Amino acid sequence: MNQPANLPASAGKKLPAQAAFLALLRRVHFYIGLFVGPFIFIAALTGTLYVLTPQFESYLYADALFTSSKGEAQPLSQQIDAALNIAGQDKQIYAVRPAPSAGETTRVMFSDPNLGASKSRAIFIDPVTLAVKGDMTVYGTSGILPFRTWLDDLHRGLLLGDAGRVYSELAASWLWVAALGGVVLWFTGRRKPRRLRQVSGKAEKQQRSRRWHSTLGLILLAGLLFFSATGLTWSQWAGDNIGVLRAYMGWMTPAVKTSLDPLAEAAPADEHAEHHAGMADMPDMPGMDMSAHSMPAVAQAATVSASTFDAVVQAARESGIAAHKIEIRPAYTPGKAWTVTEVDRSWPTQVDAVSVDPSSLQIVDHVRFADFPLLAKLTRWGVDAHMGILFGVWNQAILVIFGTGLCVMIAWGYRLWWLRRTVSSDSNNPAITLLQTWKSVPFSLQCPIFVITLGLAISLPVMGASLMIFLMIDVFRWQKSKRTVKALSAVG
């Protein structure tokens, strides 16, 4: 974060291209830090809290997640019947996650339009005794429980719903610009010879703050770009544009076909469906056609029997579904297949999916993660790494270090701004503005900068809107600066 203390005599005049570009970049970097920095700080802080809590959540809800019962597990159909006795026989089963190992419970999840997007009611069943161990709301593909759902909502939208998601998109839109701009400013600034002279205590504090701010920025650069990119794919408006680009380039994640019509094709899967609004957006599974499994809005048209789950799981296992963590989704629409999907998103990733005809138990389609295009694999891994689940506790540790470092870097940036602000106040000279630096840029450089900025503003709408706000603030500061210059001239 930078703020020149004095207004140079050349302000508004054309400068050499490199000097003018760096002056403009420095001003943009300062504006991002000053106005967007708080939102990036909140996103980093809440994201750090989120990745710190999986073990705490397991402890908090241990009674529902684990069981001390010993013995052979009852058939899955009986476990489902036990859940239906609690939820009601008329309730529609959205999905079932059998206990992945001994000592864990089975989740039977029910559709409930009153819970909101990507949420379902889960009944936790002891697979040995069929006792009900818990009844609570779960969210997303990860199946997180209420405490971490609250943290996720805080991180994504400040608990304000879709309106709050503007803040996280604003942070992700500008984070990569601030990171790359900071690197350019550091690289060009470090080549300047250091003057061998004594500096005041205030100037020494400025240099120390700048050094810490720059050093942390360089260390965190790869993470800043990674989280900016993955955050944008989750965002509301930029995410839609990225989805259009992926579809056009053929980068979409393959989806398992659920239609029993041999001529039908599967719709692409959406790795971020759990973060989108809308009642149809229940927890998504990688490689699954979401259109066939949206929450039913009408009464069921196809009979779903608990006993069918046993047969469908057996058919899926025989076809190669080998992960311990799986999810079964029944189909309430005639002509649709059931799906069985691996949901182990740690390393090595197991997210294969099959669709099964519930009548004949024949495999309709099989999507294997090993066959995914490289970009689809990278998207899957990027999403899971962003959430801290790809490499387990090591992934968590890296994210905690990164999030903490980013918060400290922003704090050092604000300290640097405050120290420079004090110098500026003492000098009584008006600060240079964004518009003044723009006027100093040669026309040959203004044209490509304008074209690139316009393209980014269209592709990243929140960035475009916030840039307009920056310019409105700058116009006000520019007018105030001109009045100050006139007043100083009159006094002189």
Q: Quick one: 383 and 399 in the same domain?
A: no
In the three-class reduction of DSSP (H, G, I as helix; E, B as strand; rest coil), residue 136 is classed as strand
Count the domains in the chain.
2
158-181 residue pLDDT tens: 999 889 999 999 999 999 999 999
pLDDT above 70 for 411:
yes
Give the confidence band of 301 by pLDDT, cuts at 50, 70, 90: low
Query: What is the model's pTM?
Result: 0.85
Distance from the Cα of residue 252 to its chain's centroid: 18
Give the residue from 391, 419, 453 where a domain finishes.
391
Say if residue 441's pLDDT is above 50. Answer: yes
Kindly tell me if the per-residue pLDDT of 479 is higher than 70. yes
The residue-averaged pLDDT of 15-32 equals 90
Residues 212 and 271 in one domain: no
On whether the CB atoms of residues 9 and 165 are closer than 8 A, the answer is no
pLDDT confidence of 14, banded at 50, 70, 90?
low
pLDDT in tens, 241-281: 998 888 888 788 899 999 998 766 656 665 655 554 433 33
Looking at the structure, tell me whether residues 344 and 409 fall in a common domain. Answer: no
Total number of residues shown for the chain: 492
Sorted by sequence, the CB contacts under 8 Å of residue 409 that are 6+ apart come out as 212, 213, 216, 217, 220
Position 248 scores a pLDDT of 84
Say if residue 387 is in the same domain as residue 398.
no
Structural domain includes residue 472: yes
φ, ψ (nearest 5 deg) of residue 299: -60, 150
Does residue 6 sit within a domain? no
Q: Indicate the pairing of strand 106-110 with strand 119-125.
A: antiparallel
Identify whether residues 40 and 174 lie together within a single domain.
Answer: yes
342 shares its domain with 209: no
The verdict on residue 11 lying in a domain is no
Q: Are 76 and 93 in contact (CB under 8 A)?
A: no
DSSP labels for 355-420? EE-TTT--EEEEE-GGGS-HHHHHHHHHHHHHHT-SSTHHHHHHHHHHHHHHHHHHHHHHHHHHHH
Percent of the chain with pLDDT over 90: 64
Q: Is the pLDDT of residue 8 over 50?
A: no
265 in Cβ contact with 303 (< 8 Å): no
Would you state the pLDDT for residue 264?
A: 64
Please tell me whether residues 290 and 351 are part of one structural domain.
yes
Encode burial over 464-491: b for 16+ CB neighbours within 10 A, e otherwise.
bebbeebeeebeebbeebeeeeeeeeee
Q: Are 29 and 166 members of one domain?
A: yes
Q: State the DSSP code for 191.
A: T
3-class SS of residue 205? helix
Range 220-243 average pLDDT? 93
Q: Is residue 419 part of a domain?
A: yes
Q: Give the model confidence (pLDDT) of 81-108 as tens digits.
A: 999 999 999 999 999 999 999 999 999 9
pLDDT of residue 263: 67
Same domain, 166 and 180: yes
Averaged pLDDT for residues 348-360? 96
In a domain, 117, yes or no: no
Half-sphere exposure of 360 (CA within 13 A, CB side): 9
Structural domain ending residue among the three candidates 375, 391, 407: 391
Question: In this predicted structure, what is the pLDDT of residue 50?
Answer: 96
Give the residue with greater pLDDT, 9 vs 195.
195
The DSSP output letter for 218 is H
Instruction: State pLDDT tens for residues 104-134.
Output: 999 999 999 888 888 999 999 999 999 999 9
What is the extent of the structural domain holding 311?
254-391
Q: Which two tokens stand for residue 2?
A: 């930078």
Within a domain: 316: yes
Residue 134 placed within a domain = no
CB 239 within 8 A of CB 395: no
Q: Are residues 270 and 344 in the same domain?
A: yes
Q: What is d(CA 290, CA 286) in angstroms, rounded to the nearest whole number? A: 10
The domain boundary residue, chosen from 369, 391, 413: 391
- Determine, yes or no, domain membership for 350: yes
- Are residues 378 and 413 both part of a single domain? no
Do both 386 and 400 map to the same domain? no
State percent of the chain over pLDDT 70.
Answer: 83
pLDDT above 70: residue 295 = no
Asked if residue 174 lies in contact with residue 464, where contact means CB atoms within 8 angstroms, the answer is no
CA pair distance 39, 352, nearest whole angstrom: 37
Q: What is the per-residue pLDDT across 58-71, written as a single tens digit (0 to 9) for each?
A: 999 999 999 999 99
Give the pLDDT score at 485. 65
Category of 140 on φ-ψ map: left (φ > 0), alpha (ψ -120 to 50) or beta: left
- Dihedral (C-alpha) 208, 214, 215, 216: value to the nearest 10 degrees? 110
Residue matched to tokens 């708080």: 38
Confidence check: pLDDT of 296 > 50: no
